Amino acid sequence: MKRLIFILILLSGSCYAVDSRQLSDPKQQESYETLTKELRCLVCQNQTIADSNAELASDLRRQVSEMLAQGKSKEEIVQFMTDRYGDFVLYKPAFKGKTLLLWIAPIAFLVIGLIAVLLVIRSKKAKEKLTSDTEALQSDTEKQKKIRSLLDNGEVS
Amino acid sequence: MLKYIIPLVLFIIMAVFLGLGLTLNPSEIPSPFINKPTPNFSAPKLNAPQEKLTPADLKGQVWLFNVWASWCVSCRSEHPVLNDLAKLNAVTIIGLNYKDDPVDAKKWLDTLGNPYNISIMDQEGRIGIDYGVYGVPETFVIDKKGVIRYKQTGPVTVVDLQKTLIPLLDKLQAEPQ
């Protein structure tokens, strides 16, 4: 019973889904859906305007749908938003001087990490080889000693 | 020795970055409007809806554009500060009554005092979008040529007035038209 209530509570979230807008042209509807998923709601910063229930998100959804209905292109709408809210409104910021670090940093860290791993593996391997070599050398000298002592004593048992 | 120095250096670098991160305010978004002309609007006045106000009407004077609403909690803490500023007569204060019910808005001004020379209504939030408003209250400072010179997101405090706004207003008032 408890579990059932819990599941019902989880499901109830979908009752409060945001008021998505419908456009008559399916192509515009598609642009509407991609755009609202790429624009950040500035009030609740970790949600897109498609996800957010905030008033501002709803106003921005209205703005996007109106501009699409007016025949504006996606680029024009993105420009409209960045003119007003800055690059921060974009979940996918443009690739330019100011945002370069944002794009490059993850790749740079990956490369640094890979190099570090390679170096560690290499130094470990070199160490292992050294120890196995010395071991082999040691057992060689022991054998030689035995042979010599056998030859010196002149007896083969 | 190197074994100990490398992690120490890495730790210090990380600590510096994280420390800087702690002092930043992530909800403060740099405004793309600084040193740009004010976006245009033509909006009905709160007290006389048949009359409209446009930024062109305010050319030649320094003005403060304060976004407020009666539903906005932090506007309540900001309001006495604006009342104080209004008493100084240092600047024209224009209010943007953002997504509000005019009845509630008027009641708010009647009870708490009205620091605004004029308040205009933006019931649908369209002027708000044109000004990139995302958190009420917000305050813009506009110079005599109609260029936005400063923006503050969040309530203006007495310290903000003394440290930032009043010196800035003095400077802008001294500029030629």
Residue B67 near residue B125, CB atoms below 8 Å: no
Express each pLDDT in B98-110 by its tens digit.
999 999 999 999 9
Average pLDDT across chain A, whole number: 84
Contact: B134, A85; criterion CB under 8 Å: yes
Closest residue in A to B28 (Cα) is A42
Domain ranges of chain B: 34-174
B-proximal residues of A, 25-44, CB under 8 Å: 42-43
- Across residues A130-138, what is the average pLDDT? 84
Shortest CA distance to B61 belongs to which of B141, B130, B150?
B141
Average pLDDT across chain B, whole number: 91
Residue B120 near residue B43, CB atoms below 8 Å: yes
Residues A102 and A87: their CA atoms lie apart, in Å, by 12
State pTM to two decimals. 0.73
B-proximal residues of A, 85-114, CB under 8 Å: 85-86, 88
Nearest by CB to A59, from B31, B129, B135: name it.
Answer: B129
A124 touching B, CB under 8 A? no
- Across residues B23-31, what is the average pLDDT? 74
pLDDT at site B24? 80
Give the fold, CATH level 3, of B34-174.
Answer: Glutaredoxin (3.40.30)
Chain B contacts of A56, Cβ < 8 Å? 125, 128, 133-134
Residues B32 and B13: their CA atoms lie apart, in Å, by 31
Q: Which of A36-45, B113-122, B144-153 is least confident?
A: A36-45
Containing B53, the helix (H) or strand (E) segment is: strand B52-53
Express each pLDDT in B44-75 by its tens digit.
999 999 999 999 999 999 999 999 999 999 99
- Across residues A119-133, what is the average pLDDT? 89
Top-ranked range on mean pLDDT: pick from A120-129, A139-148, B65-74: B65-74
Express each pLDDT in A77-101 by its tens digit.
999 999 998 888 888 877 777 778 8
Min Cα separation B18/chain A (Å): 16
Residue B42 near residue B126, CB atoms below 8 Å: no
Residue A67 near residue A36, CB atoms below 8 Å: no
AA letter at A18:
V
B-proximal residues of A, 69-88, CB under 8 Å: 82-86, 88
Express each pLDDT in B129-163 by its tens digit.
999 998 889 999 999 999 999 999 899 999 999 99
Nearest by CB to A88, from B29, B99, B126: name it.
Answer: B29
A58 touching B, CB under 8 A? no
Interface predicted TM-score (ipTM): 0.79
Residue B57 near residue A114, CB atoms below 8 Å: no
Nearest by CB to A63, from B32, B129, B135: name it.
Answer: B129
pLDDT at site A15? 44
- Across residues B3-29, what is the average pLDDT? 86
Contact: B134, A83; criterion CB under 8 Å: no
Contact: A83, B129; criterion CB under 8 Å: no
Instruction: Name which of B34, B71, B122, B129 to mutate to probe chain A: the one with the most chain A Cβ atoms within 10 A of its Cβ.
Output: B129
Spatial CB neighbours of A31, under 8 Å, sequence gap ≥ 6: A68, A74
Min Cα separation A1/chain B (Å): 41
